[in-house]
Structure 1
Amino acid sequence: MTTNSLTAHLRTLRVRAGNPTIREIERLVQSQARREKMARSTIQDKLAGTSRATLAQVLSLVEALSDYARSVGAPLDPGETDIRVWRERVTSSENPSMPRSSPIEGARTSQIEWDTEPLKRAGMLDVAEIIESSSGVDIAEWLPRVIETIQLAGMNHSKYLQSAAKCSPNDIARLVAAIEETFPTQSNFPWETPTSPVAKHLITCTSTAHLPPIDPVINVALRRAGMGHYVPHHLRAIAKFRRPHNVIASVTALRDAALEADAQTLLNKVGRERTNDDLDVILDNYRLLGTKADLQRILLGVVEEGASRFRTVVEQLQNKKHNWIDTYVSQMKDLLPESSDKAEFADVLGSLGYEAWSQEIRPPAGWGGASMQYSNEPPF
């Protein structure tokens, strides 16, 4: 961490404390039981970064800003004034080459463009100042609070997540962890690990902000940061929103990085969730390559998702008058899981003109399969 980074942290804390004037900070510093006092000009220099601040001076400023925030009824969080954190920041600024203790590097935002104009027009000058003074500061330390404030104001925060998604994989992993600490998590099913919708939004943006060779790096960075439960969402976003050739390139990149399970999951999610009307492009690629297992993994994903998804895909192929539609429909028919409601799939096939195949998979009369309706008779 450089002196500029330390200065940016102090400026951010000043804004978070309510942006007290230099005179107010001086008054609070003078009231502290410290041997070393600071003149108004010294305080101004340290906050401007024109001269290096000592540990004692930094702690004095942090205490003064904390006192001011408390006096105006908006106390700072304990983590923002933690002496150990500020001591580490000062030490890092004195030894810029010293590696961070975390295996995941902190984000640097100097090369990212942030649009603060909407914030200024909404009168959120303090938030705009935090963003504009963020160069050299770990993005995980300030962006979650900025997003939280923007949400509280009822404003859209998407563009800020889109900008953040351009960070390096390690930066993104740290940011996801910080977002999960700031925002509530939720899960759709009891067996799922709860996730933050804001973090998932960031991951979705990440899937389109980076090229396929970076995908395995992102997955590994998330897992090493303890955020591996977001990897399935990353793969889902790639499957849904990437162009076909980039989806195929992503599968290759994952395999080249010895992430075969991720590659197979991605193929399955292409079948389950590909939203664009171009699934046939991906299917044709694997058919031409002769990689039958990959082709079948995509088609299996289609039928695993259910009869409705099956209908959608077959109708898309019919609308395009695809040359290989019968081959793909036949393979999906043969891949139907035993646990599926084959009567529903039979109905779909029949309604789309595949009467013979419909009869082939339709369960015998009186056998309900997965959708069996039990009688109202009491059990024996």
Structure 2
Amino acid sequence: MDLVTKSIDRPVSTWLPEVIEVLLLSEMSCTELLRRAAQESPREVVQIIAAFDKAFPVEELNPWGPSPDPWATSDRDRVVGGYLAQVARKHGALSSPAIIVGLRRVGLPELVNAYLSPLSKVQPASNIVRIVNHLRFTTLSGDADTLLAQIGEKRNSGQVIEFAQYIGTHGQPGDRTKVMKGAGGNWYQLDRVSFEAKRSNVDDDFIKEAIWGIPYGKHADFADELAKAGNAELADRVRRAENEPPF
């Protein structure tokens, strides 16, 4: 850790990637350093993300080599993904617009969704409403909508219903629908959220809105998977919904 001591007066973005590389080579955890680095200002946080992106680039697949292990975690996932999660936890409630705009300004628009994903999972419902309003106020309405959809997609099924209820009461008209449509993006989440909606005795519109989120042309595939999973009732609703508005 001599490098950390010697670099204490320099911007974190100029030396942290090198330290993280040493830790990874030594098979040591870098979680605590990432957590501390997330406490930097939003401007420096963006510079750290950019430095990590350069130091841990996306690995190019060799078409002639062996297939990658789908369960393996890459160094990029550990560092870039891990840091974005720490940033979402530390700065998400107050500084999301600055971080999102900063990522785009440094040429990393592809990491905006990678930031919104953990943001949707770590912030409580009251903060989500605040973040969504802040994003819209700063003309980032598309990112606000993406965040709402990712709550439906990424949160566990019980939390999706809880968040949708809270956002439906405290957010803008239509925000609950955006959350529920996010839950319809894959058949398994749709199945679990439908189960939780019934268990919670919420209005059937919650399930209807989730079905609206099924990607175009995927209704038959979803219905088949739901039927295989034993949810014949929902499978039948999904089949019928393919020919019902909204399309």
> Do the structures match in fold with TM over 0.5?
yes
- SS of the residue corresponding to residue 180 of structure 2 reads helix
Partner of 2:182: 301
The one of 189, 193, 201 aligned to 1:313: 193
The one of 97, 113, 121 aligned to 1:240: 121
Q: Structure 1 residue 345: deviation in Å?
A: 3.2
TM-score normalized by structure 2?
A: 0.80
- CA–CA separation in structure 2 for the residues paired with 1:262 and 1:279: 19
- Mapped contact 1:303–1:336 kept (Cα < 8 A): yes
- Mapped contact 1:141–1:178 kept (Cα < 8 A): yes
- SS of the residue corresponding to residue 339 of structure 1 reads coil
- Mapped contact 1:286–1:292 kept (Cα < 8 A): no
- CA–CA separation in structure 1 for the residues paired with 2:126 and 2:117: 16
Partner of 1:204: 85
Superposition pairs of residues 169-248 of structure 1, within 5 angstroms: 169-186=42-59, 196-197=76-77, 198-248=79-129
Q: Structure 1 residue 133: deviation in Å?
A: 3.1
For each residue in 1:247-287, what CA deviation from the matched residue of structure 2 results, as whole angstroms up to 9, or x when unmatched?
22211111121111110111111111113732222211233
For each residue in 1:146-201, what CA deviation from the matched residue of structure 2 results, as whole angstroms up to 9, or x when unmatched?
1111111111111101110111111011111212222232379xxxxxx9322222
Which amino acid counterpart does residue 181 of structure 1 have in structure 2? K
Which amino acid counterpart does residue 160 of structure 1 have in structure 2? L
Partner of 1:35: none
- SS of the residue corresponding to residue 246 of structure 1 reads helix
Q: Structure 1 residue 237: deviation in Å?
A: 0.7
For each residue in 1:73-100, what CA deviation from the matched residue of structure 2 results, as whole angstroms up to 9, or x when unmatched?
xxxxxxxxxxxxxxxxxxxxxxxxxxxx
> Alignment identity in percent?
23
The one of 221, 239, 246 aligned to 1:362: 239
- CA–CA separation in structure 1 for the residues paired with 2:163 and 2:182: 13
The one of 129, 149, 155 aligned to 1:268: 149
- CA–CA separation in structure 2 for the residues paired with 1:276 and 1:331: 14
Partner of 1:348: 226
Structure 1 position 327 matched with structure 2 position 205? yes
- Mapped contact 1:254–1:262 kept (Cα < 8 A): yes
- Mapped contact 1:165–1:172 kept (Cα < 8 A): yes
- Mapped contact 1:244–1:278 kept (Cα < 8 A): no
- SS of the residue corresponding to residue 10 of structure 2 reads coil
- CA–CA separation in structure 1 for the residues paired with 2:121 and 2:60: 21
- Mapped contact 2:160–2:179 kept (Cα < 8 A): no
Structure 1 position 339 matched with structure 2 position 217? yes
Aligned pairs, how many?
225
- Mapped contact 2:219–2:238 kept (Cα < 8 A): no
Highest RCO, 1 vs 2 (Cα 8 Å, sep ≥ 6): 2
- CA–CA separation in structure 1 for the residues paired with 2:212 and 2:80: 38
- Mapped contact 1:239–1:267 kept (Cα < 8 A): yes
Q: Structure 1 residue 221: deviation in Å?
A: 1.4
Q: Unaligned 5+ residue runs, structure 1?
A: 1-127, 189-194, 364-380
Structure 1 residues 149 and 276, CA gap change in structure 2 (3 angstroms)? farther
- SS of the residue corresponding to residue 184 of structure 2 reads helix
TM-score normalized by structure 1?
A: 0.54
Q: Structure 1 residue 338: deviation in Å?
A: 3.4
- SS of the residue corresponding to residue 342 of structure 1 reads helix
- Mapped contact 1:343–1:362 kept (Cα < 8 A): no
Structure 1 position 164 matched with structure 2 position 37? yes
- SS of the residue corresponding to residue 329 of structure 1 reads helix
- RMSD of aligned C-alpha atoms? 2.6
- Mapped contact 2:187–2:225 kept (Cα < 8 A): no
- CA–CA separation in structure 1 for the residues paired with 2:224 and 2:209: 14
Mark the structure with the bigger radius of gyration.
Answer: 1
- SS of the residue corresponding to residue 220 of structure 1 reads helix
- CA–CA separation in structure 2 for the residues paired with 1:334 and 1:234: 25
Q: Structure 1 residue 339: deviation in Å?
A: 1.1
- CA–CA separation in structure 2 for the residues paired with 1:276 and 1:344: 17
Structure 1 residues 262 and 187, CA gap change in structure 2 (3 angstroms)? farther
